[in-house]
Amino acid sequence: MAELRPHLDRATFVPLVRSMEAEGFRLACIRNGDRVVAVAGYRISTNLFCGRNLYVDDLVTAETERSQGHGRTLLDSLRGIAREHGCRWLHLDSGVQRKRAHQFYLREGLELSSYHFREELQGAAITTAAG
């Protein structure tokens, strides 16, 4: 996950994930021995736009492990989880600079369906539910 979210050190990452888990966030990973080589963070929710859906917050494979099928395996697993929970859609956002990821998602059958807009709010910081 550090390759995708380098701004989060372990001291920040662990409590933040614990807080997110209380909101339904889950992690799935692929290991090679004792090393995590690919990880996905996701949540299941319902909204007015598309009903019940699985949203992929994070999906990353270690640079040295890419093109070995780990991303496809995780994505297939997430599709299965979504179906088990009655989701009609699997959604994700991907940074505009992540061209290789975009190619991967398109190869895997995902379609480009919307723009994502954001605004950084002044004075805001990463916090956990407790803090």
| Ranges of each domain in the chain | 10-107
- Give the pLDDT mean for 12-31: 91
Look at residue 131 and tell me whether its pLDDT is greater than 60: no
Look at residue 15 and tell me whether its pLDDT is greater than 90: no
Q: Which amino acid is at 25?
A: F
pTM of the model: 0.85
Look at residue 4 and tell me whether its pLDDT is greater than 60: no
- Extended strands (E) in the chain: 26-32, 35-47, 51-61, 89-92
3-class DSSP state for residue 27? strand
CATH classification code of 10-107: 3.40.630.30
- Give the pLDDT mean for 119-131: 71
Look at residue 56 and tell me whether its pLDDT is greater than 60: yes
Q: Which pLDDT value is given to residue 1?
A: 58
User: CA 114 → CA 6, 14, 43, distances in Å?
Assistant: 26, 31, 19
